[in-house]
Amino acid sequence: IDRFLYERYNDLEILASDTSIVDPNVDASAKTLQLKEFLLNLGIYENFYIADVDGNIVASTDRNNEYPNIKTTEWFVNTEKIFLNATDVEISPFSKQPTIIFSQIIFDENKERSGMIIAELLWPVVVELLEDADPRTEVVLINKDNLQIGTNNHGTFLEKDWTFLVEKQFQDKEFFTATATSEGYLVYKGNQWKVFVRVPVDIAFAPLN
């Protein structure tokens, strides 16, 4: 999961260096067409947005024509400080869906800040990574607040608190259990998520043949 999220930085770097995105002389409609092409080719994003330095959306793949000003959002402020940012999973101010918002500063040909490129990741794409396990194996992804953000069996989002459930619900003599904590991948620092995996003993001890 960490490696997959790290790779999304590469997507934004490509977008932020695209001539039609960087050039201030290219109008909004042309920028929107380029964003739509990226959206279609990559297939893992909800929408792309371009904001000006004041936090106003000037181009987007979103069909909505009214956007909130994002200048005061935590991730906009962070991106202005460190140039490249990824949030924890949160409800998007645009689509109102669970997402990770990736954002990167856009520099023009004079190396001046001209805006910001913003991407909403399709959250089901992350959840699909949990579904590679055997259907009889339970996999749960929780955030740093111990709230469930994904499972391999289509569980609820941000509604189930695992603070006390891990030992009570997950520990069972009929299962082997394992836990892994996100430590990030290269420049992606991770979000301190945890993955819990519970495997039935009969699967673990099934004959090798």
- The string of DSSP codes covering 112-174 is -EEEEEEEEE-HHHHHHGGGGS-TTSEEEEE-TTSBEEEETT---SS--B-TTHIIIII--TT
Per-residue pLDDT of the chain (209 residues; tens, 9 = 90+): 999 999 999 999 999 889 888 888 888 899 999 999 999 999 999 999 999 999 999 999 998 878 999 999 999 999 999 999 999 999 999 989 999 999 999 998 888 888 999 999 999 999 999 888 778 888 999 999 888 898 888 766 777 787 766 656 666 678 888 889 999 898 888 899 999 888 888 887 888 77
pLDDT value at residue 162: 76
Cα–Cα distance measured from residue 90 to residue 147, given in angstroms and rounded to the nearest whole number: 12
Question: Looking at residue 200, what is its pLDDT?
Answer: 87
Predicted pLDDT at 71: 94
Q: Put the strands of the sheet holding 148-151 in their side by side order.
A: 148-151, 138-142, 194-200, 175-181
Per-residue tokens: 190:
């991770």
Using one digit for the tens of pLDDT, what is the confidence trace for 25-37? 888 899 999 999 9
Full-model pTM: 0.86
Tens digits of residue pLDDT in 54-94: 999 999 999 887 899 999 999 999 999 999 999 999 999 99
Q: How many C-beta neighbours within 10 Å does residue 188 have?
A: 18
Amino acid (one-letter) located at 108? D
Contact 192, 181 (CB under 8 A): yes
Q: Which single residue is written with the structure tokens 């111990």? A: 146
DSSP class of residue 175? Answer: E
